[in-house]
Structure 1
Amino acid sequence: MRSLLYLPALLLSGVIACGQGQSAKSTQPEMPLGFEEYDPVSTLKVPEHKLTKSKYPFIDVHNHQFQMDKEDLNKLIGQMDDLNMGLMVNLSGRGFANDEAESTKFLDNALANVKKTSPKRIALFTNINFSNVNDKGWTEQAVKTLEEDVKKGAKGLKIYKSLGFSVKDDKGKRVRVDDPRLDPIWAKCGQLGIPVLIHTADPKSFWDPMDRYNERWLELKLHAGRKRGPNDPVPWEQLLAEQHSVFRKHPKTTFIAAHMGWYPNDLKKLDSLMKVFPNINVEIGAVIAELGRQPRASRAFFEKYQDRILFGKDSWVPSEYATYFRVLETNDEYFPYHKKYHAFWRMYGMGLPDEVLKKVYYKNALRIIPGLDKSQFPQ
C-alpha cells in the first residue's frame, strides 16, 4: 500500500524529467553539425598575449574614411590613440562621387578638415575618375588634376579594383589595368615622387569553383556577390599580369601592391615578383590570416623584405587590429582569427624582431610616402 502512495510522485518526477530532457534536446543543433555551426572551443593551454595596442606607433597605409569632408575627426583621433596608431592614410581622398566637380569639392573639404583638426595624424591619397576615359584630352586632364591634388596636399594615388573589373570605355569595352592611356598618369606619379597604392583583382578563390575544396566557400556563401566565373571579367591570372605590366613599364614609379598583390598564400611567387620588380612594395591589409597560418615562412619573408612591407588594415573596425598586433609581435600559438568566414583556421605569431617591426609599422611608410610628420615616431 505504501508503494502505491509513492507512485503519483514517481510518475510526476518522470514527467518533469522527460520534459527537461525534451527541452534540453530542443536547444541542441540538429545532427550532424554543418560547417557553419561547428565552432569548437580549444582545450589547448598555451601562453597568451592578447594585445590591444601596438608595441610601437604605427602608420596604417590602407584605410578608408567616407565622411572626412565633414566629420568630427576628434573621435577618430581618439580611436587611433587607443590603438597606438600614429598616422592614418585615408585612401578615399576624393570620396565616391562620379562627378569630377563634386569629388574635387570633397577632397578640398577633407584636406581643410584635416588641416584644421589633425594635420600630423591623417594623410590623404587622391583618386582617378575613369568615367570619361575615352574622351579626347582625358589623359591630359587626369594628369593635370593629379598635379593639382598633390599641390593641395595629397600624398599619393590610390587605384581601386574597379580598374580592370568594371571600368569601361564608351564602346563598353573593359579598360585594362595596363591601358596605354594611363601610362602618363603612372609616369607623372614617378616625377612627383608619390607612391601609387594599387588594388587589382581579389583572392584567387573567388574565381575557383564554389565546392567543398574552396577555402573561401563560407565567405562566398555569405557574400554571394564576391563569386566570379572563370572569365568574369577575365581570368584572375590575366588581371594580375596586367598589373605587373604596369610595374614593368614604369620602373621609376613607386608602387604599393594592396593585399600583398594577392599572393600572401604563395610567398614563393611573391618573392619572385619582388626580385623582378624592385619598384614595388606590399601592404598587409586584409591578408593577416594568410600570414598567421604560416608563421615561419612569413617571418622569413618579412626579414628578407623588411624594407618593402608596410602595415595596412583596409576596413575600419578598431577591434580587429588586435589580430594584426598579435600575429606580428608575439609567438602565441593557435589563436582565433576575428572572422570565421575569412579564416576558419587558427593563427600563430611571427614574433618579429623589433627592428623589423619598426620598419613595417612606420619607418617604411615615412620613407615611401612624402611629407608625413616624423616627430611622433621613434628613431
Structure 2
Amino acid sequence: MSKFLNMRFNLMPFWLLLCFSTPRSVCCDYEVTQVVSSYYDMEDYQYVKKFDSHIHINTYDTYFIDLVKKDNFKFLNIVDDRPFGLPMEEQEKVAISHFEDFSDQMIFATTFSVDDWENDNWLSKTISHLENSFSKGAKAVKIWKNIGMDLRDAKGNFVMVDNPRLDLILDFLSKKNIAVIGHNGEPRDCWLPLDEMTFSQNYYGSHPEYHMYLHPEFPSYWDQINARDNMLNKHPELKFIGAHLGSMEWNLEELAKRLDKYPNMDVDLSRISNLQLHTIRNREKTRNFFIKYQDRLIYATDTSINSSENPEKIKNKIHNNWIEDWRFFATDHKMNLKGHGSFRGLKLPKKVIDKIYFKNAQKKLGFS
C-alpha cells in the first residue's frame, strides 16, 4: 500500500504537490491570485489601452491631448452637421489639424452637409467631399439627427435616414468599407412628458423646441427607429455604429433584437447612466447582456471640448468620468446613481473589457 501511495504522489501535478508541501495560507493566496487575474481592478486603469469612440473637439487647444496621453487613451473625434456651435467646415479643419499632429492619439470621423439637399449636384458634391476627407485620414462618416428631425424635402416632408436619395451615399460607403456612425432620433425621453423622463428633464425643460412630446407633428420615436432599421435592411453590408446605444438606451431587449438581426451593427455606449439604471434594476441581466454582445459594444462618452472652458476644470471632469466608467465596467465596487439608488459595478472579465474598450473599435474603424 505504501508503495502504491508513493507512486500516486509522484504522478501529481506540480501545483498540487506545492499545495501539499507548503503552508495552507500560501496555497490559498496562490488560488485567489489565479481567480483575480481574470479581472482588472482600479489599479489597472492606467496601464490598459483604451479608446473613446465619441469625442467632439471644437478648439485648436491641445490640453485634451495631454489628458489622453496620461490616461492611456486614443479617441475618435467626430464632426457633425449641426446648426449650432462650430460650423461643420471648421470642425473638420480642427479635426484634421489635430490628426496631423497627434495621429498616435486620435482618428476622426467626417460628415456631409444637407444644406443643398434638393440641388441636382448634391450627390456628386457630397461624394467629392467625402473622398477628400478620406484622403486626409477620416475613418468614418457621421449621420446626425438633422436627418429625421430637421431636414425636409421640397414638399415639406421630413427626410428620414432610409430616404432613397441617401442610398447612393450609403452604397458608396459600403463599397469603401467605411463605417457609418448613426445618431438617429433621440433618447426615448424626448417623446415623453417631463415628469416621465429618466434623465433628460433639465435639457428638454430648458429647450422645449427640441422636446418632441410638444411637437406631435414631427416623426415619432418609432418612426426614427423604423427608418434606421429599414436603412440597415437595404444595406446589410454597411459597417454601422449606432450612436448612444442605437437610441435604444431604455430597453436592452429591443437593442438585443437589432444586434441579432443586423450582424454589421455595433453600438457605442455613450448613455452609461442608462446602463447603470439597468444594473440597478437587474445586475445579472445587464452583465449577461455585455457578455453575450461583447463583440458589438464600443466604449464612448460623447464628450465635447470647447475653447470657452477652463482647461484644468474640463480635464478633471473628463478624467473623473473615465475613472468612474472604468469602476462600473471593471469592478464590483459599490456605486451610486443620483436619484435612482446604489448598485455594484459589472466586473466584466478582462477579455470583455479589452474588447469594449479597444478591440471592437479597432476592428470597426480600422486603426492600429
Give the TM-score normalised by the residue count of structure 1: 0.74
Q: Which moved more, 1:303-312 or 1:261-270?
A: 261-270
Corresponding position of 1:357: 353
Quickly say closer, same or farther: Cα 1:264–1:210, change in 2 above 3 A.
Answer: closer
Structure exhibiting the larger radius of gyration computed from Cα positions? 1
SS in 2 for 1:202: coil
Q: 1:59 aligns with which of 33, 48, 51?
A: 51
**Is contact 2:181-2:240 (8 Å) kept?**
yes
CA distance in 2, matches of 1:113, 1:55: 24
Corresponding position of 1:11: none
CA distance in 2, matches of 1:189, 1:197: 12
Corresponding position of 2:92: 107
**Is contact 2:144-2:184 (8 Å) kept?**
yes
Give the TM-score normalised by the residue count of structure 2: 0.76
**Is contact 1:257-1:282 (8 Å) kept?**
yes
**Is contact 2:186-2:247 (8 Å) kept?**
yes
SS in 2 for 1:134: coil
1:322 CA drift (Å): 2.5
Q: Which moved more, 1:275-284 or 1:147-156?
A: 147-156
CA distance in 1, matches of 2:341, 2:301: 19
Q: 1:219 aligns with which of 187, 190, 202?
A: 202
Corresponding position of 1:90: 77
Residue type of the alignment partner of 1:88: F
* More helix per residue: 2
Residue type of the alignment partner of 1:160: W
Quickly say closer, same or farther: Cα 1:77–1:246, change in 2 above 3 A.
Answer: same
Corresponding position of 1:257: 242
CA distance in 2, matches of 1:320, 1:149: 31
CA distance in 1, matches of 2:157, 2:85: 19
1:141 CA drift (Å): 2.0
**Is contact 1:62-1:90 (8 Å) kept?**
yes
- The answer to whether residue 73 in structure 2 is matched with residue 77 in structure 1 is no
- The answer to whether residue 186 in structure 2 is matched with residue 202 in structure 1 is yes
1:356 CA drift (Å): 0.4
**Is contact 1:52-1:83 (8 Å) kept?**
no
Write the mapping of 1:131-210 to structure 2, written as runs, cut at 5 A: 131-210=115-194
**Is contact 1:60-1:89 (8 Å) kept?**
yes
CA distance in 1, matches of 2:147, 2:92: 21
CA distance in 1, matches of 2:121, 2:133: 18
Quickly say closer, same or farther: Cα 1:84–1:155, change in 2 above 3 A.
Answer: same
Corresponding position of 2:22: none
1:328 CA drift (Å): 0.5
SS in 2 for 1:292: helix
SS in 2 for 1:63: strand
- The answer to whether residue 216 in structure 2 is matched with residue 231 in structure 1 is yes
SS in 1 for 2:110: coil
Q: Deviations over 1:177-220 (max 9, x none)?
A: 11111111111111111110110111212212233x44347435
Provide structure 2 residue ranges, at least 5 long, that are not aligned to the other structure. Answer: 1-40, 305-316
Quickly say closer, same or farther: Cα 1:97–1:221, change in 2 above 3 A.
Answer: closer
- The answer to whether residue 122 in structure 2 is matched with residue 122 in structure 1 is no
1:307 CA drift (Å): 1.0
**Is contact 2:179-2:365 (8 Å) kept?**
yes
Q: Which consecutive segments of 4 or more residues in structure 1 shift more than 6 A? A: 49-52, 93-99
1:359 CA drift (Å): 0.4
Q: Deviations over 1:89-121 (max 9, x none)?
A: 00127887999xx85565356324421x21111
CA distance in 2, matches of 1:263, 1:103: 27
**Is contact 1:124-1:155 (8 Å) kept?**
yes
CA RMSD of aligned residues (A): 2.7
Residue type of the alignment partner of 1:365: A
SS in 1 for 2:131: helix
**Is contact 1:306-1:360 (8 Å) kept?**
yes
Residue type of the alignment partner of 1:168: R
* More strand per residue: 2
Corresponding position of 2:303: 315
Quickly say closer, same or farther: Cα 1:175–1:201, change in 2 above 3 A.
Answer: same
CA distance in 2, matches of 1:95, 1:161: 9
Corresponding position of 2:266: 281
- The answer to whether residue 312 in structure 2 is matched with residue 329 in structure 1 is no
CA distance in 2, matches of 1:329, 1:135: 50
Residue type of the alignment partner of 2:331: T
**Is contact 2:190-2:204 (8 Å) kept?**
no
CA distance in 2, matches of 1:52, 1:353: 13
Residue type of the alignment partner of 2:49: P
**Is contact 2:79-2:88 (8 Å) kept?**
no
SS in 2 for 1:326: helix
Provide structure 1 residue ranges, at least 5 long, that are not aligned to the other structure. Answer: 1-48, 374-379
Identity across the alignment (%)? 24
SS in 2 for 1:256: strand
Figure out how many residues of one structure are paired with residues of the other and give that number: 309
Corresponding position of 2:17: none
SS in 1 for 2:139: coil
